[in-house]
Structure 1
Amino acid sequence: MRIDDALRACKDNHTDLVTIYDKEWNTEQAKLLVNGSNNCSLIGANGCTWSDGEPVTFINLSRIFTEEKCCGALTTGGKWECVNCTSRMYFMCYKKKGQDQTPFYSLIPENKTWFEAQLYCRENHTDLVTIRNEEENQLVKNAVNGSDSIWIGLRYNYSVAWTDAGQSGYKEKCFRLLSNRPNESCETKKSTCAALCYKRFIHVSPVYATWEQALDHCDKKFAGLLRFESEDDQTETERELKRQNISGPVWVGLRQSRLFGFWIWSNGLYVGNWIKWKGGSPPEHQMSQHCGALEKRVNDTFELSDKDCRSEFRFLCEVK
């Protein structure tokens, strides 16, 4: 499956291609492939950017793409390769014209480094060429008109973006494939690879509210304030907050009985002893502020803590 097909399938039927946060999460996702017919899957990792800031949602890499050679060039066959940025070659600029902002391509027959080519295109056109789909790739290939490899706007930037804008620090190359056979390269078998998607079950409110206001909003429009029925629920919630770069605090459906002192979820569910509390245990009754929020700690993990129920925070609703 091509990366653009995988993106479309995940966004149409789920939420997005999966984001990988650490080696443990990578291992968990790889296990999903063991019993399937595919031995590799496309994930949302993207360590490349276009010069004009466009996201990389279409990929046409040749087999010689490596991290060490980090600037993009188009070959005569229409494939992309990354070579040393200080190499000198012709390059392709584009300029957007008309109300529909149609890109017009210009092959510049001057030997320049990638950065020199980028500066030239920005001064005289719009930027080094961006390629967003198969049709544009063919148009650029045709405009090359038999020239040797030329610079395009693709560059490996040593930091990873994820298709769902997830804030993961886990490092991968341009749309690297996840494989359950670590000694077998998946790069040459993209046609046999499926897309590994995920579906979001959490709504993160864009507005701030008290705990009672959050409860009322989530009850009316969703399935209630978020509850953790298992340790996996809390782990996935942490990942969703990382995807959206939220450090909290955010309200969840947890409240303390002022009469008896025990903590309970808003739908009456028992609070499991696996819950990650700030300080390692629930706040004592007399010292508590009675409403539960999830917030990021200094070690980049999330823990539950008690907050004044009248405070206004963003909040997490459970999607139906």
Structure 2
Amino acid sequence: MFLIVVLLSTGLWIVSLGLRGHYVFLNQPKTWNEAQSYCREKHADLATIENTEDVRRMTDVVDGNFDGSAWIGLHGDSKSWRWSLEHSDLYGKGASVFRGWWDQPDNTEGRELCVYISMGKWNDFRCDYSLMAVCYDERGNNTEKYVLLKTYMTWTEAREYCREHHTDLASVKNDTENHIISRIVGDDAAWIGLHRTAWSDMSRSSFTFWAEIIDDSRTYRQQNCVVVWYRSSGGWTWETCDRALPFICYSGTSPRMYHLEGDRKSWLDAQKHCREKYTDLATVDNTEDMDRLMHMTSGSYDGFAWIGMYDDLFRSWRWSLEDEVIQGAGEYRNWDSAQDNTGQGEHCVATVYGAWLAFSCKTLIRFICYDDKNGTQSYVLSDQTATWSDAQSYCRQHHTDLASVRSSTDNQMIAHRAGSEIVWIGLYRGRAWSDQSNSSFRHWKSGQPDYAGGNQNCVAASLADSGKWTDHNCLDVLPFFCYSVAECSSNPSPWLSAGNSYHGVCTSDLQSCEETLRL
């Protein structure tokens, strides 16, 4: 393994190049959320770990220079419940968000991350307790597709058994299925497939590496984020998310090759050209991608050039609480009947009497925060006015975030708190990528995006300013960056720089493309 060790004034920075990208250890204490933001800005995301080889590579990054705890990308909270079986074809509209709680999950001691069913009602519970389980078998039909496992196992053991002998732990998509399973289980308690551990990058990795010895004298309440514990050979333990610790970023190697096209075109014409000749307009995942993109010009051009980011007026609404596994949050909407969502420059959402309206984010109004820091979920109405961004900052500092609205019940609660006030909620219109990539990396120039004139819905890189991004009218004609995916062969060879373009050969797995020559 090739190691680069650099001692920075801010701490030890160690990079390990591996077959699937590399891990970066930073001995700069940050909270989990701060570490996530840093990793997304500078690299790809907080570390995701998919197997024991990843554990070894991550441990080699530290190489004995640190023996404490460091954040990785795994976290769990009351908003991230999801099913072990995640086949999208299995769930109809709304089926994946069906819930049958006895009461709202209480996350006792911050460690109740798995769900059992008893007498038709669900409860959250520690995953390391032994219970019976209900397996789902897609080969069955109706009552035959559920199998009660009468051997007592932990949730993880039950999931492994169900995956080996059937399909997976049972997913429950509606009241009818809940009734069928309840009749099978009777008065006993049995695991179902719902759990709430999630990776920062939304990876579906089910791999775990919990430390064998956990100090039970510690206070586990509100310990919703995971650290790797180097005193325990890289084992994982829970920790409170607001504690400042070192952290591990993952910086995956992009298989994209960038191409600067000098012909000036509008954004849509540039997109069409890139899709016909290459793959698409350029998507950028991290600072390494930006450096490679900038290298394409070789200093021969210092103006603006289109990249693939744009403002999708209809499909890019998202919640400030950036956790796409918030059950139902991505689906529920309650727009005012007069709202058409085509307004230029209206990128943030406020609510009045429960109806939603889009406004300029610079509007000064009151706001509703969501608070989950004390083990209970509540909405808090501010007593001050602020822009949407300032409201977001305030809510994140003093509570959890701006309010997300997952259901009509949530919407009614917020309307009750707000009364007749117009208040910000956490919904805003973000930017999307032309290739529908989910990259969260941003490289805005100071003061951008400013939506000047209300119609600047496409993004260009300013090559005179380190490639910083600015918003532009999509009808402007500019040079543009395309990308293509490198062709692969069974014989890997380095990326080579030739003039103002890149040429490369990857390994047979595109996700394993490795930039062996650091440019």
Higher relative contact order (CA 8 A, sep 6+): 1
* TM-score (ref. length: structure 2): 0.29
* TM-score (ref. length: structure 1): 0.44
